[in-house]
Amino acid sequence: MAKPLMIALDFPSGEEALAFLSRFDEPSKLTVKVGMELFYEEGPSIIEKIKALGCDIFLDLKLFDIPNTVKQASKRLAKLGVNYMTVHGLGGSEMIAAAREGLDEGAKEAGVEAPTLLAVTELTSISDDVLKNEQNVDLPMKEMVLSLARTARGAGADGVVCSSQELETLNNALDDGFFYLVPGIRLPEDGVQDQKRVASPTFARENGASAIVVGRPITKNAYVKEAYDRYLSDWEG
């Protein structure tokens, strides 16, 4: 899928994640997100099991540490053969560049393709009020996200994770070819839960998203395949 809809496998165990994937007739057509909850519970073995089903994998661990630590972690994670990986953009240009080096080195050693490196900007759970009064950032949200995206691009990242609300600003300010992954996706009939900056798949597509992530509206739905098809149809237009 050129512009994937990624399903967030936010399950407490590998058994539950694999049971969920078994409900699809062709899991090899899926792109899935493995985040902290599942990876910290199961470790690298869950990546191997999901890869065996043929899924593309977005490993979302948001690495955030000193550059050398991030480089060494990235080098090892690249050997797992995942397709996408994240660092936190607030770690700065040196850290992002170190992640890029680690991914490239690890992938070369393992004989696999290096993952697409994405820098997380501001989480979709962060509101303007939190940005200003807790993070003490004077910039408006869109300008803050743009600043982080420019830093990430200059340091060798392939794209960023951002909300749909910043897409227009980013697409207007940055060159073509940068990858925009958008979480916080909800259809109008689904609740926003703990997300603050949300939008529909259609809105994300029309404003230049490269990929979207959908979690609970699909994984917690009694009719999983039908929910996935609804979101996919809206995303593909």
175: tokens are 């060159």
175 assigned ligand-binding residue: no
Contacts 24+ apart (CB under 8 A), 140-145: 141/165, 141/166, 141/197, 142/166, 142/169, 143/169, 145/121, 145/169, 145/170
62 given a catalytic annotation: yes
What is the greatest pairwise CA distance in the chain? 49
66 assigned ligand-binding residue: yes
Q: Return the amino acid letter for 163.
A: S
Q: Measured between alpha carbons, how far is 162 from 180 in angstroms, rounded to an integer?
A: 7
150 assigned ligand-binding residue: no
129 assigned ligand-binding residue: no
39 assigned ligand-binding residue: no
33 assigned ligand-binding residue: yes
Q: Catalytic residue, from 29, 51, 62, 225: name it.
A: 62
64 assigned ligand-binding residue: yes
Annotate 102-112 with b (16+ C-beta within 10 A) or e (fewer): bbbbbbeeeee
10 assigned ligand-binding residue: yes
- Binding-site residue numbers for substrate are 10, 33, 60-69, 124, 186, 195, 215-216
- Binding-site residue numbers are 10, 33, 60-69, 124, 186, 195, 215-216
Q: Which residues are catalytic?
A: 62
